[in-house]
C-alpha cells in the first residue's frame, strides 16, 4: 500500500504543476480513500489479527532466507577474490633460462571473425598446456579488448607499454613481453590503446608488415608464437595474417559460427595471394561442444566434412570451469587441473606438437 501511496503523491504533485483543477479532484478522491481506510470494517472477520501475525511471520522467514542467500553470495565473492592471481609485471631480462634448444619457431594466428567462439580461451589454455609439456610459448594479445591479458591475471592499468607501442615502432617486442606468466608461457599484452592503432597506421608505409617485423626478432627463442586476433578483418587482423605461418580457427558448435567461415577463408586467400604466400590452415578446433545436443553433433559433422583432416581430433567441451578460469587470472590447467576442460587442452597440445 505504501508504494501506491507514494506514487499517488508524486502523481498529484505532477498534476498540480500541469492541471490545478485535476489536482483538486485527485486530492478529494485521495481524501475519501483515506477516510474509508481509517473507518473500521464492521463485517471484518475476528481472526484478522491472527492473519496479520501470520503474514508478519512469513515476511520474517523470507527476510531470513534472503539474508542467508546474500551471505552465501558474499562468501562466494570473497572466495573468488582470494583465488584471483595477479601476474607480477616483470621485464624480459628477468625471464628464466630456457632449458632446451628451441628449433624452428611456428607463428600461429588464432582467428575467427565471429566473437565468442573461444579464441582467447584457446590462446591461454593451449599456450599453458604446451608450456607444461616443456615448450616455450609467446602469446601476443592483438585484441584491443585485452581479454587474453586479463585472463592471465595481467592488470592492464599497471602497464607502461603494450603491443600497441610495438606496432607504432615506439618499442620492440621484447620491451613489452611479460615473461613466465605460467610455466613456459610469456605474454605480449594489449590495452585499450590498441583500438587506435588501425587509425594511426593508415598513413604509414608497410603498415601490414609491422607485426611480422616485430615477431622476426623473437624467432628462435620460442617454439610457438600464438597471436590472439580481434573478431574482425581489419588492419590488426591483416597484420596477424601477414606475420603468421599458419592459422588456427576455433569454431563454436553452434549454427551462427558457420556463417562467417567462408568470408574468413576468402580473406585468407587474398592475403596469401598478395602478402603471405606461405599462409595456410594449421587446424580447425571445435569448441563449446555439448554432446547432449543434436545441434552440436550436426555442426561438428558439417565442419569435419568441409575441412576434412584439418579438424583436430580433440574437441573442447562446454565447461563452466573453462568459463570461470579467466576471472581468476589463471589458465584452466591451473584453475581446474583435473577437470575435463584441462584434460581436453592438454590433449590438444599433444596433437599440436604431433602436427609439427
Task: Return d(Cα 329, Cα 338) in angstroms, integer.
Answer: 18
Q: CATH no. for residue 202?
A: 3.40.50.300
Neighbours of 91 (CB within 10 A): 12
Residues 111 and 251 in one domain: yes
Task: Return d(Cα 99, Cα 83) in angstroms, integer.
Answer: 30
Residues 49 and 192 in one domain: no
Task: Return d(Cα 285, Cα 310) in angstroms, integer.
Answer: 9
Residues 73 and 106 in one domain: no
pLDDT of residue 7: 41
Q: Longest C-alpha distance within the chain, in Å?
A: 96
Residue whose grid cell is 552440436: 296
pLDDT of residue 130: 97
CA 159 to chain centre: 20
Residues 74 and 164 in one domain: no
**pTM attached to this predicted model:** 0.77
Question: For residues 281 and 241, is the Cβ–Cβ distance under 8 A?
Answer: no
Residues 110 and 72 in one domain: no
Question: For residues 170 and 204, is the Cβ–Cβ distance under 8 A?
Answer: no
DSSP letters, 290-302, are -TTSHHHHHHHHH
Pairing of strands 224-228, 106-110: parallel
Query: Does residue 10 lie in a domain region?
Result: no
Number of structural domains the chain divides into: 2
Residues 59 and 108 in one domain: no
Query: Does residue 3 lie in a domain region?
Result: no
Residues 39 and 145 in one domain: no
Question: For residues 227 and 143, is the Cβ–Cβ distance under 8 A?
Answer: no
Query: Averaged in consecutive runs of 10 residues, what is the pLDDT profile of the chain (356 residues)?
Result: 44 53 47 49 49 55 49 47 75 91 94 90 97 97 94 93 95 96 96 91 88 95 96 91 96 83 87 94 96 92 93 96 95 96 97 93
Strand (E) or helix (H) holding 16: helix 2-18
pLDDT of residue 149: 95
The dihedrals phi and psi of 283, each to the nearest 5 degrees, come to -175, 160
pLDDT of residue 56: 56
Q: What is the DSSP letter of 253?
A: S
pLDDT of residue 223: 97
Residue length, the chain?
356
Question: For residues 349 and 126, is the Cβ–Cβ distance under 8 A?
Answer: yes
Task: Return d(Cα 135, Cα 129) in angstroms, integer.
Answer: 9
Residues 169 and 276 in one domain: yes
pLDDT of residue 82: 55
The dihedrals phi and psi of 276, each to the nearest 5 degrees, come to -145, 85
Query: Does residue 91 lie in a domain region?
Result: no
Task: Return d(Cα 165, Cα 154) in angstroms, integer.
Answer: 17
Query: Does residue 73 lie in a domain region?
Result: yes
Domain finish residue from 62, 78, 94: 78
Structural domain boundaries, residue 28: 22-78
Residues 157 and 304 in one domain: yes
Query: Does residue 267 lie in a domain region?
Result: yes
Amino acid at each position: 500500500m505504501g508504494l501506491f501511496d507514494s506514487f499517488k503523491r508524486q502523481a498529484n504533485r505532477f498534476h498540480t504543476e500541469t492541471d490545478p483543477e485535476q489536482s483538486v479532484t485527485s486530492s478529494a478522491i485521495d481524501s475519501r480513500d483515506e477516510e474509508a481506510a481509517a473507518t473500521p470494517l464492521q463485517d471484518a472477520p475476528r481472526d484478522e489479527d491472527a492473519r496479520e501475525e501470520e503474514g508478519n511471520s512469513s515476511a520474517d522467514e523470507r527476510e531470513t532466507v534472503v539474508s542467508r542467500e546474500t551471505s552465501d553470495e558474499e562468501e562466494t565473492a570473497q572466495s573468488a577474490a582470494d583465488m584471483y592471481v595477479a601476474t607480477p609485471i616483470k621485464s624480459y631480462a628477468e625471464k628464466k633460462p630456457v632449458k632446451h634448444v628451441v628449433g624452428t619457431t611456428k607463428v600461429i594466428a588464432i582467428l575467427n571473425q565471429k566473437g565468442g567462439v573461444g579464441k582467447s580461451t584457446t590462446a591461454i589454455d593451449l599456450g599453458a598446456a604446451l608450456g607444461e609439456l616443456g615448450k616455450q610459448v609467446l602469446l601476443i594479445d592483438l585484441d584491443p579488448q585485452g581479454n587474453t591479458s586479463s585472463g592471465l591475471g595481467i592488470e592492464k592499468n599497471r602497464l607502461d607499454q603494450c603491443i600497441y607501442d610495438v606496432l607504432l615502432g615506439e618499442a620492440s617486442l621484447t620491451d613489452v613481453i611479460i615473461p613466465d606468466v605460467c610455466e613456459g608461457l610469456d605474454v605480449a599484452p594489449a590495452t585499450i590503446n590498441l583500438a587506435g592503432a588501425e587509425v594511426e597506421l593508415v598513413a604509414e608505409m608497410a603498415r601490414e608488415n609491422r607485426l611480422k617485423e616485430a615477431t622476426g626478432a623473437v624467432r628462435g627463442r620460442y617454439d610457438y608464437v600464438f597471436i590472439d586476433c580481434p573478431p574482425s578483418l581489419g588492419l590488426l587482423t591483416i597484420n596477424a595474417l601477414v606475420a603468421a605461418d599458419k592459422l588456427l580457427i576455433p569454431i563454436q558448435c553452434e549454427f551462427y559460427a558457420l556463417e562467417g567461415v567462408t568470408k574468413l577463408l576468402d580473406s585468407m586467400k587474398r592475403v596469401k595471394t598478395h602478402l603471405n604466400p606461405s599462409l595456410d590452415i594449421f587446424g580447425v578446433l571445435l569448441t563449446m561442444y555439448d554432446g547432449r545436443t543434436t545441434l552440436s553433433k550436426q555442426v561438428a559433422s558439417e565442419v569435419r566434412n568441409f575441412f576434412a583432416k584439418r579438424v583436430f581430433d580433440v574437441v573442447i567441451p562446454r565447461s563452466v570451469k573453462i568459463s570461470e578460469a579467466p576471472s581468476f587470472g589463471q589458465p584452466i590447467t591451473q584453475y581446474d587441473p583435473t577437470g575435463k576442460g584441462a584434460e581436453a587442452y592438454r590433449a590438444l597440445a599433444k596433437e599440436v606438437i604431433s602436427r609439427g
